């Protein structure tokens, strides 16, 4: 599969296309001409050394030096965030932006939002906001104390990340995860930085996946993820939006996020959990609970519930109850089973217990559906 590299093009549509480009390194070469005095040569050598030092360590001086040397087209200053956008920085949102688009686009078209922002295809997955971005030399962000998790993927160029007293250069394939409340800063000191990012709800759906400390890792699914993002945006900004496809792309993006956030050990437990779920659903007459499944897999009941929250947004007992109710409804609608037989197949002691649970779940009794 081809690697997708993002580059914003002023094509009138505000759509991201595949692009590229390379950052060329500048080399200073200053030679003294014939007849130059010793003092002149010393001065040139001094300037040469100074320029090379500034070039080599420019990312150390970035917050102080570039703030004064560059003209920013957008500045954001709040209690929890500081942002400076240089000329040609761009962001294209997956849904209605949380920023003031009119204010940002006052002098330049920096932010694009979907033509129809009434439908948010990612919110049901606990994804509050998301965007593809292309930032240029001079971009800077400082954030801390926000009540959401941040996950970003670098798909091209580079940026300097500072967090937890460490400094790291992000390059293609790197992802950065910042749990809610964690402070960090990002800067683009050289060339371009192309990325896509997500703001995740600070809820049980994501808390156990992102953890409590910020970290970086290589994405396992970047190429596939980038392709899905491209398809999603092309369709989202198309005059003929396909709602079914956008829902599907949203599901895939949420799964790719979970896959990348799961560690190797977690992935093995997750795979084992999914195998047992298939077995459990094949015979719902067995009265399963979280401790029973935990003993089978070799983890704690709390971990079982945590995995269920990540995958199904509900505890194990509630997910099992949902499976029983859906199976019971399916069997009843065939007209081939009595309530007593359905009760036995779904783990209830008798028809009365099943009917009571059915009505509490669906809001009506089985007999109102017809059936046997």
Q: How is 245-310 classified by DSSP, letter by letter?
A: HHHHHHHHHHHHHHHHHS-HHHHHHHHHHHHHHHHHHH-TTS---HHHHHHHHTS-HHHHHHHHHH
> What does DSSP assign to residue 28?
-
**Whether residues 138 and 214 fall in one domain:** yes
Select from 205, 231, 261 the last residue of a domain: 261
**Whether residues 180 and 276 fall in one domain:** no
Instruction: Tell me the pTM.
Output: 0.58
CB 308 within 8 A of CB 293: no
- Structural domain boundaries, residue 370: 264-372
**Whether residues 275 and 304 fall in one domain:** yes
Residues of the chain where predicted confidence (pLDDT) is lower than 70: 1-71, 99, 101-108, 263-267, 370-372
**Whether residues 164 and 292 fall in one domain:** no
CB 352 within 8 A of CB 316: no
**Whether residues 292 and 149 fall in one domain:** no
Q: What is the domain count for the chain?
A: 2
Select from 231, 261, 291 the last residue of a domain: 261
Q: Is residue 212 part of a domain?
A: yes
CB 44 within 8 A of CB 30: yes
**Whether residues 236 and 274 fall in one domain:** no
Integer angstrom CA distances of residue 37 from 40, 44, 50, 335, 361: 5, 11, 20, 104, 93
Neighbours of 79 (CB within 10 A): 8
**Whether residues 79 and 162 fall in one domain:** yes
- Rg of the Cα trace of the chain? 27
Torsional class of 15: left (φ above 0), alpha (ψ -120 to 50), beta (otherwise): beta
**Whether residues 291 and 331 fall in one domain:** yes
Integer angstrom CA distances of residue 227 from 2, 222, 223, 237: 9, 8, 6, 16
pLDDT of the residue at 174: 96
**Whether residues 147 and 268 fall in one domain:** no
**Whether residues 251 and 269 fall in one domain:** no
pLDDT of the residue at 42: 56
**Whether residues 244 and 277 fall in one domain:** no
Q: Is residue 44 part of a domain?
A: no
Could you give the residue ranges of the DSSP H alpha helices within 128-242?
204-210, 222-236
Select from 220, 240, 261 the last residue of a domain: 261
pLDDT of the residue at 344: 95
Query: What sign for the dihedral angle of Cα 81, 82, 87, 89?
Result: negative
CB 7 within 8 A of CB 21: yes
**Whether residues 142 and 255 fall in one domain:** yes
Residue 345 sits in a domain whose CATH number is: 1.10.10.60
Q: Is residue 126 part of a domain?
A: yes
């Amino acid at each position: 599969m081809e690697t997708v590299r993002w580059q914003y093009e002023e094509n009138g549509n505000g759509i991201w296309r595949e692009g590229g480009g390379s950052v060329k390194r500048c080399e200073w070469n200053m030679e003294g001409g014939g007849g130059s005095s010793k003092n002149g040569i010393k001065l040139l050598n001094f300037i040469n050394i100074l320029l090379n030092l500034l070039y080599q360590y420019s990312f150390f001086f970035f917050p102080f030096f570039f703030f004064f040397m560059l003209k920013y087209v957008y500045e954001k200053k709040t209690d929890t965030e500081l942002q400076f956008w240089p000329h040609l920085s761009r962001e294209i949102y997956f849904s209605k932006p949380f920023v003031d688009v009119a204010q940002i686009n006052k002098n330049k078209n920096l932010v694009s939002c979907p033509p129809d922002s009434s439908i948010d295809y990612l919110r049901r997955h606990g994804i509050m906001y998301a965007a593809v971005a292309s930032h240029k030399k001079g971009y800077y962000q400082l954030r801390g104390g926000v009540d959401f998790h941040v996950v970003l993927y670098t798909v091209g160029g580079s940026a300097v990340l500072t967090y937890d007293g460490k400094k790291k250069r992000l390059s293609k394939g790197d992802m950065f995860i910042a749990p809610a409340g964690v402070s960090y800063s990002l800067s683009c000191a050289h060339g371009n930085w192309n990325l896509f990012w997500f703001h995740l709800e600070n809820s049980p759906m994501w808390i156990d996946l992102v953890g409590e400390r910020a970290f970086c890792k290589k994405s396992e699914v970047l190429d596939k993820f980038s392709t899905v993002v491209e398809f999603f945006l092309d369709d989202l900004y198309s005059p003929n939006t396909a709602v079914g496809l956008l829902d599907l792309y949203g599901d895939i993006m949420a799964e790719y996020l979970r896959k990348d956030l799961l560690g190797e050990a977690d992935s093995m437990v997750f795979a084992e959990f999914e195998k047992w779920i298939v077995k459990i659903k094949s015979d719902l007459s067995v009265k399963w609970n979280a401790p029973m499944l935990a003993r089978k897999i070799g983890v704690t009941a709390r971990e079982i519930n945590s995995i269920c929250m990540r995958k199904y947004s509900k505890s194990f007992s509630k997910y099992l109850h949902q499976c029983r109710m859906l199976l019971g409804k399916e069997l009843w609608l065939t007209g081939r089973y009595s309530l007593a037989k359905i009760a036995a197949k779904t783990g209830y002691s008798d028809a009365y217990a099943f009917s009571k649970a059915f009505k509490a779940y669906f809001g009506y009794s089985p007999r109102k559906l017809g059936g046997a």
